[in-house]
Amino acid sequence: MRRRVRIVAQAFDPEAEISIFRRSLEAAGAIVTFTGQVRASSADGHVSSLHLQHYPGMTERGIDAILDEAAQRWPLEAALVIHRVGDMDPFDPIVLVATASAHRRAAFEAADFLMDYLKSRALFWKSETNAAGRIWVEPRAEDYADARRWDDAPGGG
Amino acid sequence: MRRRVRIVAQAFDPEAEISIFRRSLEAAGAIVTFTGQVRASSADGHVSSLHLQHYPGMTERGIDAILDEAAQRWPLEAALVIHRVGDMDPFDPIVLVATASAHRRAAFEAADFLMDYLKSRALFWKSETNAAGRIWVEPRAEDYADARRWDDAPGGG
Amino acid sequence: MAKLLFFGQLGDLAGGIERTMALSAAHAIGDIVALIDAQDRLLGSALAGPRVRYAVNGEIVAADFQVTDADELAFLPPVSGG
Amino acid sequence: MAKLLFFGQLGDLAGGIERTMALSAAHAIGDIVALIDAQDRLLGSALAGPRVRYAVNGEIVAADFQVTDADELAFLPPVSGG
């Protein structure tokens, strides 16, 4: 499986990255992407900005390990993970995951799996600044539950 | 739920469409896309070209009905379906589905659901031309099985 | 003239996607298939296949549906998209 | 000097992501937390929280892991990405 992992401190263009990813494929006919972008509002009201921290080196190694696991579980030709860090504004892209396979379900499941990891297990810390001040965000109970779906699941494909 | 359905006889640019879709969002932070493109080879050998037929009017109404169902099952802000018809070459995009929601799982499941419909239930007929001649393709057993997953499933969200 | 549409491999057998048929009275789809079968066994048996569905004016109907001269009758073999 | 890293809200409590600490001998992480707690109760109790994990030189370790003056010790509160 070809792979690419990027942690970026500047804004990135998800569609430009998807285009490069798709055009690099040699055989896979099924491409699934997930893009997460800063929401204009959260449960706590209007979000004015978002900040993301990571632990350089260790965060990347964790993502690389989960890509190893995805490659074992599904027949993927390629996978891409881009994650933004630093200060972000509403509508800025935060994360992009792309997977490609000959099989539609493999591409869907692998993208879903990678996002569950990035959301609740990867080494990122996120704070939101709104009218009430700055708060550190934690995954919701359903994010943890989503990630646990894969713990006992047999490989897809 | 905002929606857009296009059956196109000419090549389309998936990433340009995804960009327009993403930039149209007002609240949703989670965007899932599926792109299917013509594979360079199939089980029967090298594919030289692919042809897709639809039944103008009836095909679109079927897709519109499945979008109604997706809107009932998941809290989606928007959904997009583009499907190519006519003659295609290897690597040409065939289908693009994009879904957007405040919830990651809703966007994943709705895109998966729509693709299962497009693959095995929507009114399209596909033929492959290769060295052995022209054959009409039917969904694989797993495509039918994938589509049946949703028949008894409760709504996600 | 009723319009008949043959999709997928049925169009190959029919020698084209579309043809017309004069219907002086309403006919059940099963009868129309029998008329075609009398002239073209290969196409007729394909149209009568268990996996072929029928649509009249864009709505799925059963084989006993009555088709008139003003209708569009489509023969829909197993689909495959995406 | 050992390098200490405080991520997420721990960085707010520590007044910065990074600080150094001179360690004349190897200390268990639990002991280092106790040293910090003696100077700063708020930070110390946060570092001892049940959901804080420890990493030394980029590897997750337990609280009894021995840290030396050449090591990088990171305190990892609950994560949130994507």
Question: Is 70 exceeded by the pLDDT of residue B33?
Answer: yes
Distances in Å between the Cα of D28 and the Cα atoms of A57, A110, D18, D65 are 24, 39, 19, 5
Pairing of strands C2-6, C72-76: parallel
Q: Which pLDDT does position A156 carry in this prediction? A: 46
Condensed to tens digits (0 to 9), the pLDDT of residues C15-64 reads 999 999 999 999 999 999 999 999 999 999 999 999 999 999 999 999 99
Residue closest to A119 by CA, chosen among B29, B32, D81 = D81
Task: Place B154 in a pLDDT band, splitting at 50, 70 and 90.
Answer: low
Measure the CA–CA gap between D67 and C45, rounded to whole angstroms.
81
Over chain B, what is the mean pLDDT?
Answer: 92
Q: Given an 8 Å threshold on Cβ–Cβ distance, is A22 in contact with B35?
A: yes
What ranges make up the beta strands (E) of C1-82? Answer: 2-6, 18-21, 27-28, 53-56, 59-61, 66-67, 72-76
Amino acid A92: pLDDT: 96
Q: What phi and psi, each to the nearest 5 degrees, are found at residue D14?
A: -80, -10
pLDDT at residue B155 tops 60: no
Rounded to two decimals, what is the model's pTM?
A: 0.93
Whether C61 maps to a domain, the answer reads: yes
Domain carrying residue C20: 2-76
What are the tokens at D44? Answer: 């110390």
D72 belongs to a structural domain: yes
Q: What is the pLDDT of residue B43?
A: 58
- Reply yes or no on whether the pLDDT at B71 is more than 80: yes
Contacts of B40 in chain A (CB under 8 A): 26-27
CA distance B97 to B80: 6
Residue B31 banded pLDDT, cuts 50, 70, 90: very high
* CB atoms A138 and D78 under 8 Å: yes
Nearest to A34 by CA among D55, C18, B115, B30: B30
With 0-12 / 13-18 / 19 or more C-beta atoms within 10 angstroms meaning exposed / middle / buried, residue B51 is middle
D27 in a structural domain: yes
Contact A14 B22 (CB under 8 A): yes
With beta carbons under 8 A apart, name residues in chain A contacting B105. Answer: 142, 146
In a domain, C7, yes or no: yes
Chains that touch D (3 or more CB pairs under 8 A): A
User: Residue D7 burial by CB count (10 A; 0-12/13-18/19+): exposed, middle or buried?
Assistant: buried
Rounded Cα distance, B125 and B135, in Å: 11
Partners of C82 on chain B (C-beta within 8 Å) are 36, 83, 94-95, 115, 118-119, 122, 124
In this prediction, residue A42 carries a pLDDT of: 62
Task: With respect to residue C33, please indicate whether it lies within any of the assigned structural domains.
Answer: yes
Domains of chain A in sequence order:
2-37+54-124 (3.90.1170.40)
CATH of residue D42: 3.10.20.30
Within-domain flag for C81: no
Minimum-distance CB partner of A37 among B14, B29, B108? B29
Quick check: is D70 in a domain? yes
How does pLDDT run along chain A (157 residues), one tens digit per residue? Answer: 999 999 999 999 999 999 999 999 999 999 999 999 998 776 556 667 899 999 999 999 999 999 999 999 999 999 999 999 999 999 999 999 999 999 999 999 999 999 999 999 999 999 998 877 888 988 888 888 888 999 876 554 4
Count up the domains in chain D and report the number.
Answer: 1
- What counts of helices (H) and strands (E) characterise chain A? 4, 9
b/e C27-49 (16+ beta carbons within 10 angstroms → b): bebeebbeebbeeeeebbebbbe
Element (H, E) at A150: none
Measured distance CA(A86)–CA(B37) in Å, rounded: 35
Q: What is the tens place of the pLDDT at every residue in B92-103?
A: 999 999 999 999
- Average pLDDT in the B35-50 region? 77
* C11 in any annotated domain: yes
Complex ipTM over 0.90: yes
